[in-house]
Chain A
């Protein structure tokens, strides 16, 4: 067991793979730049409660007397660097918390996709046969409905079922679940394709002959070898989930105005855009666009770099 296991389970490849990626990204200025900005976003999202000038949970966070103040360089009011929104909240703080929320929802949704995709992909690829045909047909059907369409319909129906107030309580959970379930086939297909290639190799035969259980072969032996393609789609999937969340919030099907994600912020800002308070919509929009842009750049770079075969640039 031991003799075979060491070289077979490439637990040690992870740091080298990471190092390999990092050293390659250093050579590509655009990718490095994107990575730095993305890291900055993650840091800001993590540290939002520490960085934000105002605490979103305190009582004086909202003060209607301060509503719709323009940014510092227009109003000269040094308390609010980017101005305030319609509720009198400091826009910088709201954006920080919004970024945190958007990233959280995106990451959690993709974790669900990953979990479902890994399990179904491994089963489908390793066991094969009827099960494989059935699961992949389900994947095809699920994929042919676009995520946005499914999400809009499901969330709209839930909102109509629960009523607005109850829905707002559940919004975050619903968003994560719907976005998570809607896109599992993307991971499942890629993992299945990898499994099909891997399961013909000698190490799997060896493990099978040694009597290693199916589950163990799938998760400990084959799964580690599918990490590269997973990495490639991971970034793009998170970006897509964030965009989808923003669009849903914009339609009023996502996060409520009391707990705004970036999309909800833009949505509430749009109504004031036309009356001259441009900053409420513009700053969150720019924040969102830059975040998605760097994630797409990173995803593209990873795809070109790690495995040119997957995907054809369809988001």
Chain B
């Protein structure tokens, strides 16, 4: 078990190193910091001197080492546009994205669990078939089309909900700008989180259904039936518990998808989160911000994946991550 955890941690560190190297290369290749600093009226010699002083003429590996050292101390450079530490800029936007993802995930769980369970319990029922058909249809509608048309109808045609931004926020515990605690913020949250949930739900309906069907065929469920335990108890206590475990693992792996989807949703609804910030940074060629975003997102992503894997490994000792015989 210990070796499994250690191996998983080693892998996480390697992935993080790769990500940090990639973003270091991006920062080095995008734009010339010397030109940013001095403008056009400075001679070539002076530029060269400045390059030396900044350490830009050192070997790549030395520069990377320095970059890594600074990154470990929480210094990922200064944004060209915001003239602030990139980490501060990202930290200011982080709550918006987290709240959006959180609400979307809550919606997904609330919708997908009953539908998936129902479809698994009654596989031949016409309602289950239509749930499956609709989940295929839901999978086929790209998120940006969902978002755009939700916005068109609810915000433009019927004028029920706001179309962009985050609305009012309230300060929570002094460090979190939250939109969850007032009506305006919640109204703004509704459309983006519904669009996110709309495209994530079908994935989870299918997952829960497939897992649940597997579980329902296992011996312990048959035993529970023969013991005369009531149907709801079997379905919701015995079976669902073991269904949700793999679902959570795969859900953890979907973090990357969620991050990509937030980029799309945020740029459509101009949601002031990290994804929107990233697309802005790309248009402005704000290299330090781009690379800082990559590192932060990579970190979030690697930590979730590793945690999910390790927890799953702890709970279910049979897993040896598929594909490894070691």
Contact = CB atoms under 8 A, between A and B. Distances in A.
Interface of A: 133, 136-137, 139-141, 143-146, 148-149, 152-153, 156-157, 159-161, 189, 192, 239, 243, 246-247, 250-251, 263, 266-267, 270, 273-274, 281, 285, 288-289, 292-293, 295-297, 300, 312-315
A146 B206 contact: no
B30 interface: yes
B301 A145 contact: yes
A266 B279 contact: no
A249 to B, nearest CB: 10
Given A146-B254, A156-B279, A239-B140, A136 B260 contact: no
Contacts of A139: 323
B139 to A, nearest CB: 6
Contact of B256 (A149, A263, A266, A293): A149
Contact of B152 (A160, A250, A273, A293): A273
Given A140-B321, A274-B152, A300-B136, A160 B256 contact: no
B144 interface: yes
A251 B149 CA distance: 16
Interface string B32-62: 0000000000000000000000000000000
B142 A161 contact: no
Tell me if A's interface is mostly helix, strand, loop or mixed: helix
Contacts of B253: 143-144
Interface residues of B, number: 50
A313 B209 contact: yes
A141 B11 contact: yes
A95 B110 CA distance: 38
Interface stretch (B70-78, B223-231, B261-269): B261-269
B131 interface: no
Nearest to A143: B253
Given A149-B257, A247-B264, A292-B139, 13 more contacts: A133-B324, A141-B15, A144-B256, A144-B305, A149-B256, A149-B297, A156-B279, A159-B282, A247-B143, A273-B148, A295-B140, A300-B136, A313-B209
A152 B293 CA distance: 13
B118 interface: no
B148 A270 contact: yes
A143 B253 CA distance: 9
A314 B145 contact: no
Contacts of A267: 144
A260 B324 CA distance: 44
Interface in B6-30: 11, 15, 26, 29-30
Interface string B190-201: 000000000000
Contacts of A251: 263-264, 267, 279
Nearest to B305: A144
Contacts of B148: 266, 270, 273, 281
Contact of B257 (A137, A140, A148): A148
B115 to A, nearest CB: 13
13 contacts: A136-B324, A144-B256, A149-B297, A149-B301, A160-B285, A161-B29, A247-B264, A251-B267, A263-B142, A289-B141, A289-B142, A314-B206, A314-B207
Interface in B55-96: none
Interface string B282-326: 100101001000100100010001000000000000000101111
Given A156-B279, A160-B285, A145 B140 contact: no
